[in-house]
Structure 1
Amino acid sequence: MKSDRTFNFDYEWKKRCQCGAEIKNAYSDDWATIKSPDYPTPYCNNMNCTWLIQAPPQHRIVINITDFLTEIDQDFLVIFEGNSTNSSHLAFLSGMEQSENLIASKSNQMTIVFISDLSLSLRGFSLDFKAG
């Protein structure tokens, strides 16, 4: 008897504790995502990840934090206006955050930094962004 059933699967080898691409482009027609390393499994200790989000000229960047859980007062997500950590920060997050508000830049660039210490690691974060 002939069967018309098949079984397919894909896999991907991935190193743990990798921050991923440092430069992200934001487009107005679609949301993109940044996640903490290894999300939703716990991120690694001693992480220091920086992402620069760039939108087209005359646009700003809008962020929606969809999930957030880090060690309170020890592991942080900081969102800065512009292309530097020397700029003013738009958000400073730690612990369990739930936000119904979008975070918006004033310019077409935004810098995001995620820092973890050497102890407890939790689920981390997932955020969506686009040009607005």
Structure 2
Amino acid sequence: MLTISGSVTLADWEIDISQIRAQGAGGQNVNKVASAVHLRFDIQRSTLPTVYKERLMAHTDQRISKEGVIIIKAQSYRTLELNKEDALTRLQTLIQNAVKQQKVRRPTKPTKGSQRRRVDHKTRKGKTKSLRGKVPV
């Protein structure tokens, strides 16, 4: 089970993890074998809500194919278990970033009404500063 947000969880059958034992690149650690993991997640076959599926398909990420399959490769750790966890956390963050509702940006220019309001309620900064500490006559 992988929890994406508070209400959405993915079942184990939805996440396909294949384990690859790859020989080291060479150098001093020739005899050490690195364990890699390929995680495969099909967006269309998943139990995610349709809104999430649409946002995931529209998300621009090279790990998401046109067919709606997410492939994540993890091989930063020596053990398979740590690589599995790493791949799952990467999948989780990818889905969370893709399905996050984008905030609506406010217009960059202030409206005429807000400009007028600000001018009407603006205090004369220089005048109040010069009168500070003096007794009005």
The two structures share one fold, judged by TM-score above 0.5: no
TM-score (norm 2): 0.22
Q: Which has the higher helix share?
A: 2
Whose relative contact order is higher, 1 or 2, with alpha carbons under 8 Å and at least 6 apart? 1
Larger radius of gyration: 2
